[in-house]
Amino acid sequence: MDNNCELTSLMLASIAGNDAAHRMLLKALSGRLRNYYNGKLARSGRGNQEAEDLVQETLIAIHTRRHTFDTTQLLMPWVYAIARYKLIDHLRRTKASKASVPIEQASEVMAQDDREAAESAFDLSNLLARLPEKVRLAIQYVKVDGMSVAETAARCEISESSVKINIHRGLKVLARSMAKEREA
């Protein structure tokens, strides 16, 4: 099953309580996720076992969070967003860094980009655009770009406490905004 529309239909049936559709969906997604993770992890010299663990984690997340899926959208951008975040979390937990990538593969890993990542970045940019500039920049610099609170404070010309407060308040506003959109 390769068609995004077919997978989306299976997801809709799964949400409606069709157990057979749910099993078919998870089976179809597991192959796609396995390919995705094997490709991403192979570039950094990591093994298939890590990919398998990530496939399972992602399928569990899809299963438990399927009620959050926007039924007016295609499924795969949502799935790949979850997969991408699971991968990032895994790499952070296992202390992966650019330094752990063999030098001959570094350009491949760093240059790799995909449509789902671009869509996620677009969605994030749209969400952040709703916030006041100092709040938006604090979240962008610390949470997205990985800058320290001190670096962000210097760049924004505000105190470190203000950066932390802006991030906290901004994330709360974004969470409420996303919850309202899901309800609508």
* Overall pTM surpassing 0.85 (yes/no): no
- In this predicted structure, what is the pLDDT of residue 22? 92
- In this predicted structure, what is the pLDDT of residue 100? 52
CA-based nearest residue to 170, from 135, 122, 133: 135
Confidence at 102, pLDDT banded by 50, 70, 90: low
**b/e code 142-174 from CB counts within 10 Å (16+ = b):** beeeebebeebbeebebeeebbeebbeebeebb
pLDDT over threshold 70, residue 155: yes
Q: How far apart are CA 178 and CA 10, in angstroms?
A: 25
Side-chain half-sphere CA neighbours of 130 within 13 A = 14
Give mean pLDDT, residues 34-52: 84
Q: Among residues of the chain, what percentage have pLDDT more than 90?
A: 28
DSSP-based three-state secondary structure for 67: helix
pLDDT over threshold 80, residue 131: yes
Give mean pLDDT, residues 146-175: 89
Beta-carbon contacts of 154 under 8 Å, excluding residues fewer than 6 positions away, are none
Give mean pLDDT, residues 68-92: 87
User: Between these two residues, 47 and 115, which has the higher pLDDT value?
Assistant: 47
pLDDT over threshold 60, residue 86: yes
Confidence at 98, pLDDT banded by 50, 70, 90: very low
DSSP-based three-state secondary structure for 64: helix
